Amino acid sequence: MANNQKTVMIIEDEPDAAELFAEMMRVSGFRVIKTYTSTPAMTLIAQEKPDLIILDIMMPDVSGIEVLQYMRGAPELAQIPVIVVSAKSMPSDVRDGLNAGASIYLTKPVGYVDLKNAVDRVTQSL
């Protein structure tokens, strides 16, 4: 692994979607950490301090909104960019995600180009 390789954490409860996002990120040169539930993800975020997080909102345990609120309330995690990728696509859902601290909010299904463009936008300053 290259010393300058960036790490992305994918928090997605659907294994197929998580692997699709992971492969998209590997192709873009990222080291990938995947988790399928939010509760252990919050511990992992604090331990790993990834460069970027791709986060689903509808999770089986703790919602993605709660993960965002946790991160934005923790000074050591507050600056990590978070791209929400969710099936929740109503304007109020998008607004809630952005208000909770999402850097970018994408709705499923999301293609490689859209995800790559979002990642490029939030990682320009890393």
71-102: per-residue pLDDT in tens? 999 999 999 999 999 999 999 999 999 999 99
Q: What is the DSSP letter of 57?
A: S
65-68 long-range Cβ contacts below 8 angstroms, 24+ apart: 65/96, 65/97, 65/100, 66/38, 67/11, 67/38, 67/41, 67/42, 68/97, 68/100, 68/101, 68/102
Domain positions in the chain:
7-121
pLDDT band at 124 (very low <50, low <70, confident <90, very high): confident
| pTM, full prediction | 0.95
pLDDT, one tens digit per residue, over 102-119 is 999 999 999 999 999 999
**Fold of domain 7-121:** Rossmann fold (3.40.50)
**ω into 109 cis (within 30 of 0):** yes
Q: What is the DSSP letter of 108?
A: S
pLDDT, one tens digit per residue, over 10-24 is 999 999 999 999 999
Q: What was the pLDDT predicted at 3?
A: 61
